[in-house]
Chain A
Amino acid sequence: MNRINLLFIAIFSSLIACAQQIESSVKAKDATSVTYTVEDVVTELNIPWGMVFLPEGGMLITEKSGEIIHFKDGVKTEIQGVPEVYVRGQGGLLDLELHPDYKNNGWIYFTFASSKGKGDGGFTAIMRAKLDGASLAQNELLYKGGPNTKKGQHFGGRIEFDNDGYLYFSIGDRGNRDENPQDITRDGGKIYRLHADGRIPVDNPFVGKTGAKSAVYSYGHRNPQGLVKHYKTGEIWEHEHGPKGGDEINIIQKGKNFGWPVISYGVNYDGTSLTDKTSNSGMEQPFFYWVPSIAPSGMTFVTSDIYPDWKGNLLVGSLKFKYIERLVIEGNKVVKREIILKDLGRVRNVRQGPDGYIYAAIEGEGIVKIIPNK
């Protein structure tokens, strides 16, 4: 009998939890007309996690399995000298970014799961290096989270620079939501800020606090796989995967707590409630949240004149629904969501190239370019 009662309670409470989820304020809709074509740029990639455009032409692409690929004029070259990558679950070689002054200093930044240091397993690390022919050189490990864990989830890994040259990167909660995201003395579930050479800025919010990880810039995050500088304000915009529902867009602010897992618009994967709170004092509300989840990865603002109808919009890749969402933002809110690039595959990354075109990295396919109709 007890067992049956428990079962009823479990079913009942999961029904309540599901019923409690509040859908996104704006729903995604198909575009009324398709005004672009899609051209293959790089083919035959598996999980193209990060991509950058080199000023001398060509691109660097990371494959999650641990390779950095140089692509130029139709030729792929594997870059040598990549550090050992801990490939497990969602972990592997992650994002790639160029120093804002790459042209003069040649620094390339990349994140990866690494098993270096104490304990079994791995944690997210960030390294910088320069290209010497087809090899990495002068590799410098700038930061590595810890302690290592064999958990397969939530490595985060996106990288971005702001207008002052600070380096931001994300580490997800590493499958330990009860301990990591809310504790500033622990790694994981954080956005980090460093100087470009890896030094910790003296005005980072938790510098001097006993036991705190002083590289932390904001906390209470789940698994951020989108990080981009706003083209006008210079603020760092972030998005993160929620559990079942509750993916978020946040505007990162110094020292702020973004609430995971105390507040969330999502529920557990099995539909049970993980928290009854969507807000709390001292915790930031998201700029926007997705219910249901789209599983966001990569994002970019459209700033070029090539897409007049899309200018100023935010593009976000969806792993789950295999499309790009075009979010129209007016004032401080999302007013429209449109589905573009439907059904090409799981979109891992989306960026505007230096030529002003939008490029999308698609799992199991490669990198495509969106060309508007004349």
Chain B
Amino acid sequence: MKIILASYIVLMMGMSGFSQNTKLEESKKRGSEIYADFCINCHMPNGEGVKGEFPPLAKSDFLIKNRTKSIKALKYGLKGEIIVNGVKYNGFMAPLGLSEDEVADVMNYITNSWGNKNKKMITEQEVAKVAKK
């Protein structure tokens, strides 16, 4: 396992994507801590949510297709009906009070966990641009 990991790192270092990749890994790590602090109560340890109550994040079509809307929900809260993986949710997520870099970190974590994949890293700048209305 270690050898595979080492050769993977060497391979990645050879590629220009290295710095982007480490940045993403670091962001995801910070994001996982924020997730355990702010999100896990409702969205559950593996992003599975609670059917009909709290929408799943794992393999969530809403999260994958609505990048900006998801950032907006994290920044300003979310109220009203949404449909996630064919199931209706009509709850209320209060604004979390996270700073913009923290929103980016937790977005990078949830869009790259539990079977989710996101090729384009979310930056603090991208979060900053998302307005309330």
Q: Which residues of A contact B (CB under 8 A)?
A: 3, 46-47, 64-65, 86-89, 91-92, 151-153, 175, 269-271, 363-364
Known contacts A3-B1, A364-B79; decide if A46 and B41 are in contact (CB<8 Å).
no
Enumerate chain A residues within 8 angstroms of B96, measured Cβ to Cβ: 88-89, 152
B92 interface residue per 8 A CB criterion: yes
CB distance from A349 to the nearest CB of B (A): 15
Q: Given A88-B98, A89-B37, 4 other A-B contacts at CB below 8 A?
A: A46-B94, A86-B97, A152-B37, A153-B37
- Contact partner of B94 (CB less than 8 A), chosen from A47, A151, A270, is A47
Contact bitstring B88-99, A, C-beta under 8 A = 1, else 0 = 000110111110
User: What band does the interface of chain B fall in when counting residues whose beta carbon is under 8 Å from A?
Assistant: 10 to 19
In whole angstroms, what is the CA distance A89 to B41 when docked?
Answer: 11
Cα–Cα, bound, A89→B45 (Å) = 17
**Complex Cα gap A47–B94 (Å):** 8
Q: Which residues of B contact A (CB under 8 A)?
A: 1, 37-38, 40-41, 44-45, 79, 91-92, 94-98
Distance between Cα atoms of A152 and B102 in the complex (Å):
12
Interface centre among B40, B92, B95, B97 (most CB of A within 10 A): B97
Using Cβ atoms and an 8 Å threshold, which residues of chain B touch A87? 95, 97
- Residues of B near A92 (CB, < 8 A) are 94
Bound-state Cα–Cα, A64 to B79, Å? 15
Are the CB atoms of A46 and B92 closer together than 8 Å? yes
What separation, in Å, do the CA atoms of A153 and B92 have in the docked complex? 18
Residues in chain B near residue A269, CB distance under 8 A = 40-41, 44-45
Q: Given contacts A270-B45, A364-B79, is CB(A65)–CB(B94) below 8 Å?
A: yes
Closest 4 interchain pairs by CB? A88-B97, A364-B92, A270-B45, A152-B38
> Chain B residues near A86 (CB, 8 Å)?
97
Residue of chain B at shortest CB distance from A85: B97
The answer to whether B91 and A364 have CB atoms under 8 Å apart is yes
Tell me how far the C-beta of B30 lies from the nearest C-beta in chain A, rounded to whole angstroms. Answer: 12
Q: What are 23 residue pairs bridging A and B, where the CB atoms are less than 8 Å apart in the complex?
A: A3-B1, A46-B94, A47-B94, A64-B94, A65-B94, A65-B95, A87-B95, A88-B96, A88-B97, A88-B98, A89-B37, A89-B97, A91-B97, A151-B37, A152-B38, A152-B96, A152-B97, A153-B37, A269-B44, A270-B45, A364-B79, A364-B91, A364-B92
Chain A residues in 8 Å Cβ range of B79: 46, 364
- Complex CA–CA separation, A265 to B38 (angstroms): 23
B40, closest chain A residue (CB)? A269
Closest to A87 in B: B97
A71 to chain B, nearest CB (A): 20
Contact of B92 among A152, A175, A271, A363 (CB under 8 A): A363
What separation, in Å, do the CA atoms of A87 and B1 have in the docked complex? 44
CB closest chain-B residue, reference A365 = B92
What residues of B have a CB within 8 angstroms of the CB of A65 in the complex? 94-95
Minimum CB–CB distance from A222 to chain B (whole Å) comes to 13
Residue of A nearest to B36 (CB): A269
Which among B1, B40, B44, B94 has the highest number of chain A CB atoms within 10 Å?
Answer: B94
CB of A142, distance to nearest CB on chain B (Å)? 24
Q: Most A CB atoms within 10 A — which of B1, B40, B79, B92?
A: B92
Residues of B within 8 A of A175 (CB): 37
A88, B37: Cα distance in complex, Å: 11
What CA separation (Å) do A151 and B45 show in the bound complex?
18
User: Which residues of chain B are near A91, meaning CB under 8 Å?
Assistant: 97
| Shortest CB distance B55–A (Å) | 15
Chain A residues with CB below 8 A from B94, complex form:
46-47, 64-65, 92
A135 to chain B, nearest CB (A): 25
